[in-house]
Amino acid sequence: MPKIKLMSHLVAGYPTDELSFTAARALVDGGADILEIQLPFSDPSADGPAIQGACTKVLQRGYKTADGLAFIARLHKEFPQVKIYLMSYGSLVYTPGVENFCKRAAAAGVTGMIIPDLPFDYDEGLTAACRANGMENIPVAAPSMSPARLKQLAHAGFPYIYAALRTGITGTDTTIDKNTLAFLKSVGEGGSKIYGGFGISNGQQSHALADYVEAIVAGSVFVRLITENQNDEEALYKAVRTKAEELTGR
């Protein structure tokens, strides 16, 4: 059975920079193809309790965008073969200036940006700024979109689209059924490659999705494992790597 591609989500600096780095190493060793690194944000619109709790803890340490970008730069230096995508929310990108933010992200080693609350057609210049700096803007498609809007996004010429497999927040279980597969077909009908995630936590789900997406996306499941094992670095590494291997079918 071929290996399933995995985009794994980590909150930068959670619970510490060192343990976050250990988790990233475990993900790469477990077969992750892409590290999706979230810059902590105080008022997320899509994150469930596991990720929101992690963000809150990191922000309580006074963590700044510059700290997150330094963490990403360290990951890029250590794992140059692994794609790094940056995930956060619009105000962190908009406040310092979209062009300025994209320049800094690219310099840190980021190749793609996922900003869920910037719509693909009102993105404050994000797509153009990404392209100017050798990155891709990866817009988010959700099942709650109207068929007309989904069609517009699917045919907008984005190389990649992140398909949120259900509405609501991430972190609770998602059932992969015929509606899920029909949604993925609609998202990809314009030729974009699809990253599919939201509530992916086991190998059964990743196998059910694998033929329909470029990569599966998993986040909350790893954040929960990091939380459960944060007092034992060796156990944390083992738990995260084992889960990555389960999701990738290794």
Count Cβ atoms within 10 A of the Cβ of residue 34 and give its class: 0-12 exposed, 13-18 middle, 19 or more buried: buried
H/E segment holding residue 6 = strand 6-11
Q: Which of 17, 33, 47, 123 is catalytic?
A: 47
Q: In this structure, what DSSP letter does residue 3 have?
A: P
Distance CA(132)–CA(127), nearest Å, equals: 9
What distances in angstroms separate CA 147 from CA 119, 154, 164, 177, 182, one per listed residue? 16, 10, 15, 19, 12
Cβ-based neighbours of 136, under 8 Å, separated by 6 or more:
111, 112, 113, 130, 158, 159, 160
Judge whether 78 counts as a catalytic residue. Answer: no
3-state SS assignment for residue 35: strand
- Give the DSSP per-residue string, 116-141: TTS-TTS-TTHHHHHHHTT-EE--EE
| Upper half-sphere CA count for residue 179 (Cβ side, 13 Å) | 9
Judge whether 29 counts as a catalytic residue. Answer: no
Q: Which of 17, 33, 36, 246 is catalytic?
A: 36
End-to-end Cα separation, the chain, in angstroms: 9
Q: Are 141 and 197 in contact (CB under 8 A)?
A: no
Report the catalytic residues.
36, 47
